[in-house]
Amino acid sequence: MELQIEDSVLVKNYINGEEKALEILINRHNQRISSFIYSKVLDRDVTEDIFQDTFIKVIKTLRKGSYSEEGKFLPWVMRISHNLVIDHFRKNKRMPMFEGSDDFNIFSVIGDDQLNVEKQLIKDQIDNDLNLLIEELPEDQKEVLMMRIYKDMSFKEISENTGVSINTALGRMRYALINLRKVIEKNNIVLTN
């Protein structure tokens, strides 16, 4: 089995002058980032442009030494690409067109990353309530849920880290969500603002 170098190690290697490290990072996350961008702009050429602009920003930030390994590399790059998608629509003074759908939510397309104080307090309270609910889950379910939601790990990675099959990891995630829903419904907990 081939060992995969952590993103954080590749970032450090690139900052220290190893160009190949960036190539590995781009290849590793190309599909996910491109798919995300394409799902918003629905145009291959625009997707390619925004993808390139994303990594130009990544390179500039890394070279300036402004990147701090607070979270993971991928969520950081996804935020950059998301902001560039928004910039693209602002620059073209048009919003994306969507086929009519009953479950369409404008906030899945446009987000204001800045929360006002009241919304931030509500969000903090919801996060706190959710963390308390998660603590009540059985240990194996809690572990899978935390890895999937908070560490953004794939079920394959979860399987490898926990020593269980992918199906078992999927099952634990399913039961964790079912148990959370039961507790929320039983106690009439509202987790929205």
As a whole-number percent, the residues of the chain with pLDDT over 90 amount to: 26
- Among 44, 71, 98, which residue terminates a domain? 98
CB 44 within 8 A of CB 38: yes
How do residues 139-182 score in pLDDT, each as one tens digit?
A: 999 899 888 887 888 889 898 888 999 999 999 999 988 988 88
CB 169 within 8 A of CB 144: yes
Alpha-carbon gap, residue 53 to 47, rounded angstroms: 10
Q: How confident is the model at residue 132 (pLDDT cuts 50, 70, 90)?
A: confident
pLDDT attached to residue 181? 85
Q: Which two tokens stand for residue 190?
A: 């509202």
Residue found under tokens 């939601």: 149
Q: Which two tokens stand for residue 39?
A: 């799902």
Q: Is residue 111 part of a domain?
A: no
Indicate whether 12 and 93 sit together in one domain.
yes
- In this prediction, residues 88-105 reach a mean pLDDT of 63
Q: Is residue 44 part of a domain?
A: yes
How do residues 60-84 score in pLDDT, each as one tens digit?
A: 988 888 887 665 888 889 989 998 9
* Domain tally, the chain: 2
Q: What is the DSSP string of the chain?
A: -PPPPPHHHHHHHHHTT-HHHHHHHHHHHHHHHHHHHHHHH--HHHHHHHHHHHHHHHHHHHHHT----SS-HHHHHHHHHHHHHHHHHHHTT-PPP----TT--GGGT----PPPHHHHHHHHHHHHHHHHHHHTS-HHHHHHHIIIIIS---HHHHHHHHTS-HHHHHHHHHHHHHHHHHHHHHTT-----
Q: Is the pTM of this model over 0.75?
A: no
For residue 59, the enclosing domain spans 7-98
Q: How confident is the model at residue 45 (pLDDT cuts 50, 70, 90)?
A: very high
pLDDT attached to residue 168? 92
Q: Is residue 182 part of a domain?
A: yes
Indicate whether 61 and 140 sit together in one domain.
no
Does the pLDDT of residue 5 top 80, yes or no? yes
Q: Is residue 145 part of a domain?
A: yes
